[in-house]
Structure 1
Amino acid sequence: MTELSLIIRSEQPIDAEAIERLHERAFGPGRFARTASRLREGAGHLLELSFTAMVGTLLVGSVRLTPVRAGEVPALMLGPLTVEPAFENRGIGAALMSRSLDAARAKGHTLVLLVGDEPYYSRFRFKRVPPQALQLPGPVNPMRFLALELEEGALARAKGIVTPLPKEG
């Protein structure tokens, strides 16, 4: 079998429908009820910090970063990170994560939050949010509420409820 080359590129508006179908296959209809999904509703992710993984013309992965406020501190909410099930365990998720975090750092962002599996995200230096430091606007397992400081001390400055920033325009 020949190896197909993977290309990580910035998300384009034309990708929206394919990404939505990918999310549907990966997460099912229950995805809309999740706290992280509800937080992203109406906020609009940042295309310059969101990336897709392509194998030829096939979109096989996606990661998005959405601007939020963590109390009074500007932050980003990562997710969803999605890889086409047939392409899992090939490093695509890690490549998408690295690209989006590098882009966020380069743009001067200081804090990235997510709800996810600590064993997976710890390799990117995500750590559990300390109890009572930040709250999401809905139920979430506190063991899965993670943060990555892109600037030292950013998480310590973030206190209160995480809220979405409304879409511009």
Structure 2
Amino acid sequence: MSTAALHHRNARPGPGALALLGLFALLFAGLGAMVVEPALHGALSLGTSAPARVKPSTAPIAPPPPNDIILDGDYAAADGAGLRADGATLAFGRAALVTAPHRLVIAADLAAQGVSYATALNVPANVQIEVRRVESGGAPLCAGGDTGWLAMAVRTDGVTLLPLRAGDPPGAALSPTALCPVRTLERR
């Protein structure tokens, strides 16, 4: 019998074998973390109180609200009153308001206690409404008070404006008396 075929009892693996062993250990750990653990987690969570599956709605989905129409240019009301929109400045005849963005809302949201933007502006509930804060200037939009906010439903052919008195911002806590008459203007 040859001694070359016998293994030495105290033989140690070389650095190449150790590196290969380490590489296999990392591969098996990665396999466990990426495949086995998520599968076990999913299997174990089936027995717990998982949320019930919701049946998809068959109701028609409303189109998304328009969000790319910019209020810019000249607009006219049926009574002859006009609006010139130039960026943040809204001129009503010789009176002008400088506005700043406040937020975007959906018409179904409340403009004041019990009054949605949809109801006040006479628009569908899924329409996007732009709410601006009046920074300076004055225009006779609210009888007996200053205009502090403007809610606008901007369309390609015009705009519907809901002025609100100066004070608290529009929302569910605002008194309905803060709402001023709505103005509908068509693009010239």
Q: Which is bigger in relative contact order (C-alpha 8 A, separation at least 6)?
A: 1
Shorter-chain TM-score: which interval? under 0.3
Larger radius of gyration: 2
Q: Which has the higher helix share?
A: 1
TM-score, normalised on structure 2?
0.24
